[in-house]
């Protein structure tokens, strides 16, 4: 039942991941469709604007021609009215012939009263086949991925034991790819913590952990690199140790860029013959 419950939790997470991927898939497709439609709109709007400009220019040219024709007709009518009102027969005969000639020439030019451009706009059907294809592709659901085994789904009760592996990584010796070898040490524990001793001072170590339960050994964790604290200077170094009968001042350098949580100082009393009487901490 625990394994089945763990499997259900894995499937639960897989459904959540598939939903997130499908949501991103849908959003990306919708953005592509909207971007394509926006591009088509800009193209059609620009084409309509150019067609409107051509129609207005043609109508304006036609309107200017009509204005010129009206001005010429008005001028001839005014001239004819002046001739009609004149009382001097001699002046009438002198002006009537040129005026009649102008009227005849004007009458020969028939004005063009047809529209130079249609009022309707040319609106061809837009080819949106690619947009339809994009819209149809939104309904295509990508295949679900297999459930991902997540070791963190198992509680501490389901783990029989852990194995902590570690090995020194010397600066002049490249780290081996294999996790097994003579320089690899391991500690088997049931808790999620343990203490490791006998580490070389100021040496970088690699640590990784595996968990084992009834289904077997889980994949190893990522390797973590740590460096042990350096050794304290010996008391013979007067630059780092200053002592008197009531107190002692001890200094040392960490020698590592990694932050140090705490240090432990061990003191031991020696007799007159140089032997240790007992350690103090």
The answer to whether 100 and 80 have CB atoms below 8 angstroms apart is no
Mean pLDDT score across all residues of the chain: 76
The answer to whether 22 and 142 have CB atoms below 8 angstroms apart is yes
Residue 49 has pLDDT above 80, yes or no: yes
The answer to whether 106 and 73 have CB atoms below 8 angstroms apart is yes
- What class, spelled out in words, does domain 154-227 have in CATH? mainly beta
Determine if the pTM surpasses 0.85. no
Which range, of 210-214, 236-240, 248-252, averages the lowest pLDDT?
236-240
Residue 178 has pLDDT above 80, yes or no: no
Could you report the per-residue pLDDT of 188-231, keeping only the tens digit for each?
998 888 888 787 777 888 899 998 888 778 888 888 887 765 55
Residues 6+ apart with CB under 8 A from 117: 54, 55, 58, 59
Indicate the domain borders of the chain.
2-138, 154-227, 241-280
Tokens matching residue 128: 């949106």
The answer to whether 235 and 248 have CB atoms below 8 angstroms apart is no
What 8-state DSSP symbol labels residue 214? T
- Rounded to an integer, the average pLDDT of 232-257 is 60
Tokens matching residue 191: 């808790």
Could you report the per-residue pLDDT of 70-124, keeping only the tens digit for each?
888 888 888 888 878 877 777 777 777 787 887 777 777 777 777 777 778 777 7
Q: How far apart are the first and last CA of the chain?
A: 50
């Amino acid at each position: 039942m625990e394994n089945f419950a763990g499997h259900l939790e894995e499937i639960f997470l897989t459904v959540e991941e598939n939903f997130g991927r499908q949501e991103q898939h849908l959003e990306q497709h919708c953005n592509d469709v909207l971007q394509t439609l926006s591009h088509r709109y800009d193209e059609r709007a620009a084409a309509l604007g150019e067609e409107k400009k051509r129609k207005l220019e043609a109508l304006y040219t036609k309107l200017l021609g009509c204005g010129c024709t009206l001005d010429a007709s008005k001028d001839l009518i005014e001239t004819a009215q002046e001739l009609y009102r004149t009382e001097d027969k001699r002046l009438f005969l002198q002006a009537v012939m040129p005026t009649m000639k102008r009227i005849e020439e004007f009458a020969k030019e028939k004005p063009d009263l047809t529209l130079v451009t249609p009022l309707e706009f040319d609106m061809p059907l837009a080819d949106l086949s690619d947009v339809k294809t994009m819209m149809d592709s939104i309904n295509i659901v990508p295949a679900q991925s297999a459930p991902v085994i997540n070791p963190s789904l198992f509680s501490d009760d389901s783990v029989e034991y852990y194995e902590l592996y570690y090995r020194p990584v010397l600066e002049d010796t490249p780290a081996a790819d294999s996790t097994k070898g003579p320089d690899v040490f391991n500690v088997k524990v049931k808790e999620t913590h343990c203490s490791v001793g006998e580490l070389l001072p100021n040496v970088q170590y690699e640590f990784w952990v595996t968990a084992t339960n009834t289904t077997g050994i889980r994949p190893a964790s990522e390797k973590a690199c740590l460096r042990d604290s350096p050794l304290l200077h010996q008391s013979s170094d007067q630059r780092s140790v200053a002592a008197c009968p009531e107190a002692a001042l001890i200094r040392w350098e960490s020698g590592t860029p990694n932050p140090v949580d705490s240090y432990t100082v061990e003191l031991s009393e020696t007799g007159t013959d140089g032997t240790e009487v007992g350690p103090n901490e």
